[in-house]
Amino acid sequence: MLVDNAVDGDSRVQKAARSAADAGWDVTLIGCAHVDAERRWRLGDAEVRVLPLVAPCPTPPIVSGLRGVSGLRAQLVARGGLPLRAARLARRPVEHAEVRYWQARLGDRAWRRLEPGLWDYERVAGPVVDALRPDLIHAHDFRMLGVAARVVDRARAAGRDVKLVWDAHEWLPGARPRRDNARWLPAHLGYVREYVGHADAVVTVSDTLADLLVRDHDLPDRPTVVLNAPVTAALEPTASEPPALESAAFETADLAAPDLRQRCGLRPDTPLLVYSGAMAVQRGVDTVVEALPLLPGVHLALVVADPAAAYVRQVVVRAARHGVGDRVHVLPYVPHRQLVAFLAAADIGLIPLHHWPNHEIALITKFFEYAHARLPIVVSDVRTMAETVRATGQGEVFRARDAADLARAIRAVLADPARYRAAYEGPNSPLPGWTWEAQAGHLDALYRRLLTPTR
HEC per residue, 209-261: HHHHHHHHHCCCCCCEECCCCCCCCCCCCCCCCCCCHHHHHHCCCCCCCCCHH
pLDDT at 176 (0 to 100): 74
pTM comes to: 0.84
| Phi, psi values for residue 233, rounded to 5° | -85, 140
- Residue ranges in 107-142 assigned as alpha helix (H): 111-114, 118-132
CATH topology of domain 2-56+114-229+443-451: Rossmann fold (3.40.50)
Domain boundaries, the chain: 2-56+114-229+443-451, 255-431
The b/e string for 101-123 (b: 16+ C-beta within 10 A; e otherwise) is: bbbeeeebebbbbbbebbbbbbe
Q: Which residues of the chain have pLDDT under 70?
A: 55-90, 177-179, 234-255, 454-455
Identical fold between 2-56+114-229+443-451 and 255-431: yes
Q: What SS3 class is residue 194? A: helix
Element (H, E) at 377: strand 377-380
Q: Which residues pair with 51 in a beta bridge?
A: 32
CATH assignment of 255-431, given 3.30.465.10, 3.20.20.10, 3.40.50.300, 3.40.50.2000? 3.40.50.2000
The amino acid occupying position 100 is R
